[in-house]
């Protein structure tokens, strides 16, 4: 590890009411502060709060956290990790209708703690002889990388389909149900959507899979935890995965390892694309590789070449 660069990452979210007229200025304030401090990553700003995953120097991150608490006007909880893979190429601070895309801006959590379970409570509940029904709220390309042992996978393509799933799934409403996601934010809305439909005993995993793995590596979570940055997924020790990638053909989770015929780098291709995608690691390599192949073919056909 001596000669590899370490990237320091933190993620956070906070539902807090931000006046509409303040959102644009706040967005710009956050963006310029982060830019001044050479930070990267993605922060979403909305009237319902703040959500972000960012990287920065270890001296800068504590100051950043303090600033976020100031901007939010309240306590914010952060989850840290480190990576030897650069997680973000650039900085984006975006204004959104929601800080988590559910297409339900009307569903805003008003309590900080809404039926949260700590990783320990979660672990104990799932370790019981008859564990309650457990449902993964994430998308199917995420569950492909890994999920909790015994979890129901709704096979949704998008979080905005959560309501549709609930309507079709015939889940008993009076029985306890446990839900989880990557870092906890989706469950804050998923639980409201369940309450609206009459589910009585829903519990969510505080800080999501990331929080659980921090306390229970190699516990009840099976596989890797998909993340929305260049680390692709995190292993049991919250380090970037070495067994998965994003498919250069379709962009989704891929597990078949290959070597690029143009640049020589290893990459992963998914099962759906393995026969149709060219043997290269990305679109740039594909263009160059195709050029080389065309030239070679032309040469073979022309006896004077």
User: Is 145 an interacting residue with respect to Zn ion (CB under 5 A)?
Assistant: no
Q: Which of 100, 104, 96 is nearest to 163 (CA)?
A: 104
User: Is 23 an interacting residue with respect to Zn ion (CB under 5 A)?
Assistant: no
User: Is 122 an interacting residue with respect to Zn ion (CB under 5 A)?
Assistant: no
User: Is 100 an interacting residue with respect to Zn ion (CB under 5 A)?
Assistant: no
User: Is 263 an interacting residue with respect to Zn ion (CB under 5 A)?
Assistant: yes
The nearer residue to Zn ion, 149 or 272, going by C-beta atoms, is 272
User: Is 214 an interacting residue with respect to Zn ion (CB under 5 A)?
Assistant: no
User: Is 249 an interacting residue with respect to Zn ion (CB under 5 A)?
Assistant: yes
The nearer residue to Zn ion, 187 or 260, going by C-beta atoms, is 260
User: Is 42 an interacting residue with respect to Zn ion (CB under 5 A)?
Assistant: no
User: Is 260 an interacting residue with respect to Zn ion (CB under 5 A)?
Assistant: yes
User: Is 232 an interacting residue with respect to Zn ion (CB under 5 A)?
Assistant: no
- Identify whether the C-beta of residue 196 lies closer than 8 Å to the C-beta of residue 222: no
- Three-class DSSP labels, the chain: CCCCCCEEEEEEEEECCCCHHHHHHHHHHHHHHHHHCCCEEEEEEECCEEEEEEECCCCHHHHHHHHHHHHHCCCCCEEEEEECCCCCCCEEEEECCCCCCCCCCCCCCCCCCCCEECHHHHHHHHHCCCCCEEEECCEHHHHCCEEECCCECCCECCHHHHHHHHHHCCCCCCCCEEEECCCCHHHHHHHHHHHHCCCCCEEEECCHHHHHHHHCCCCCEEECEECCCCCCEECCCCCECCCCEECCCCCCEECEEEECCCCCCEEEECCCCCCCCCCCCCHHHHHHHHHHHHHHHHHHHCCCC
Beta carbon of residue 102, minimum distance to Zn ion (angstroms, whole number): 26
User: Is 85 an interacting residue with respect to Zn ion (CB under 5 A)?
Assistant: no
The window from 82-90, 111-119, 206-214, 272-280 that contacts Zn ion (CB under 5 A) reads 272-280
The window from 112-120, 166-174, 217-225, 267-275 that contacts Zn ion (CB under 5 A) reads 267-275
User: Is 131 an interacting residue with respect to Zn ion (CB under 5 A)?
Assistant: no
| Catalytic member of 181, 187, 225, 247 | 181
- Identify whether the C-beta of residue 62 lies closer than 8 Å to the C-beta of residue 6: no
Size of the site for Zn ion (CB under 5 A): 10
User: Is 262 an interacting residue with respect to Zn ion (CB under 5 A)?
Assistant: yes
Distance of CA 78 to the CA centre of its chain: 15
- Out of 270, 286, 288, 297, point to the residue binding Zn ion (CB under 5 A): 270
Does the annotation count 181 as an active-site position?
A: yes
Residues 6+ apart with CB under 8 A from 295: none
User: Is 60 an interacting residue with respect to Zn ion (CB under 5 A)?
Assistant: no
Angle, nearest 10°, between helix axes 208-215 and 119-127? 80
Residue numbers 181-210 binding Zn ion by CB under 5 A: none
The nearer residue to Zn ion, 85 or 273, going by C-beta atoms, is 273
The window from 24-32, 107-115, 158-166, 262-270 that contacts Zn ion (CB under 5 A) reads 262-270
- Out of 9, 76, 244, 281, point to the residue binding Zn ion (CB under 5 A): 281
Beta carbon of residue 259, minimum distance to Zn ion (angstroms, whole number): 9
User: Is 7 an interacting residue with respect to Zn ion (CB under 5 A)?
Assistant: no
| Interface positions with Zn ion (CB under 5 A) | 247, 249-250, 260, 262-263, 270, 273, 281, 285
Catalytic positions are: 181
């Amino acid at each position: 590890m001596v000669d590899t660069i370490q990237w320091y990452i933190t993620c956070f979210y906070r539902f807090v009411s931000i006046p509409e007229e303040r959102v644009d200025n706040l967005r710009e304030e956050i963006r310029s502060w982060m830019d001044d401090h050479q930070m990267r990553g993605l922060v979403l700003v909305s009237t319902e709060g703040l959500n972000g995953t960012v990287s920065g120097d270890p001296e800068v991150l504590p100051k950043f956290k303090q600033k976020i608490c100031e901007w939010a006007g309240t306590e914010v909880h952060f989850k840290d990790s480190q990576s030897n893979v650069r997680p973000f190429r650039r900085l984006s601070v975006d204004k959104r209708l929601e800080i988590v895309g559910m297409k339900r801006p009307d569903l805003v959590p008003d309590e900080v703690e809404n039926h949260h379970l700590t990783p320990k409570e979660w672990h104990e509940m799932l370790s019981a002889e008859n564990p309650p029904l457990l449902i993964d709220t994430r998308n199917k390309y995420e569950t492909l990388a890994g999920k909790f042992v015994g979890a129901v996978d709704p096979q949704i393509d998008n979080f905005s389909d959560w309501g549709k799933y609930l309507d079709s799934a015939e889940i008993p409403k009076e029985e306890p149900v446990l839900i989880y996601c990557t870092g906890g934010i989706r469950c804050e809305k998923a639980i409201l959507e369940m309450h609206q439909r009459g589910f009585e005993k829903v519990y969510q995993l505080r800080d999501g899979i990331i929080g659980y793995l921090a306390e229970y590596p190699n516990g009840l979570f099976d596989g890797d935890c998909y993340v929305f940055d260049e680390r692709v997924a995190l292993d049991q020790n919250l380090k970037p995965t070495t067994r998965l990638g994003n498919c250069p053909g379709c962009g989704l989770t891929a597990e078949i390892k290959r070597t690029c015929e143009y640049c020589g780098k290893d990459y992963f291709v998914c099962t759906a694309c393995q026969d149709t995608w060219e043997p290269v690691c990305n679109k740039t390599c594909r263009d160059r590789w195709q050029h080389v192949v065309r030239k070679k073919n032309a040469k073979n056909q022309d006896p004077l070449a």
